[in-house]
Amino acid sequence: MIPVTGNQVRKVQKLSAFARDACTALLAFLLGSFLLVAKLVLTGPHSGGSSFTIGAHVISANDIDGFGVKLGLLAVAAFGAVVAGILIYLLRRIFANMARGEIFNAVNVRHIRSIGVVILAIGVLDIVVPVVAAALAARGLLGPALPPQFTIRVPGLLVPFAMAGIIYLASWIMQVGLGVSEEAAELRRDADLVV
């Protein structure tokens, strides 16, 4: 290995080990946060200033009195925690592989593509959740919506789709680089056999 490349790989390994540990801490924090939210929801109603927001609808802590409301809030919180947990877990797996020196491999390409799919799903949910929340409010299952805000959300709604596209592009480039690297290694082996 060329000394400069070896130094770069060691640097990537060191930083990846740190990032892997940070992802582990984030997963623990996410679990703790979800457990706290679950405790607040299950022991509700509460007097105080805490509230839960679903789309444009706010449910104050003292309105959490029915089983259906508690179940719905828990489902929303669990879904959000699972999506965030999947993203962090996939990142942790990539960083763990890179910390072991496995930088360009097919497993990392799959994980990167999976991250792109999850971010794409988040973009879809950014559009679907407000629509579902409005439908639930129309049926009286959710409180009234917050007053409309005069902001343009179209670019904000497109960001997850752009991110997913960039992540997919990066995974394709990584896959091509992996293929070229494997072909070069095979050609080197063949050249060594000829000599």
The mean pLDDT of 132-145, rounded to a whole number, is 68
Is 86:171 a contact under the CB 8 Å cutoff?
Answer: no
138: pLDDT strictly greater than 70: yes
- Residue 18 structural domain: 3-194
Total structural domains in the chain?
A: 1
Supply the pLDDT for residue 150: 43
Residues 14-54: tens digit of each pLDDT:
999 999 999 999 999 999 999 988 888 888 766 666 777 76
Supply the pLDDT for residue 189: 81
Nearest C-alpha neighbor of 119 from the set 95, 86, 96, 146: 86
88-92, 115-119, 164-168, range with the lowest pLDDT: 164-168
Q: How far apart are CA 13 and CA 1, in angstroms?
A: 15
Instruction: Using pLDDT thresholds of 50, 70 and 90, give the confidence band for residue 151.
Output: very low
Supply the pLDDT for residue 179: 79
CA atoms within a 13 Å half-sphere pointing along the CA-CB vector of 187? 6
Residues 94-136: tens digit of each pLDDT:
999 999 988 888 899 999 999 999 999 888 888 787 777 777 7
pTM above threshold 0.85 = no
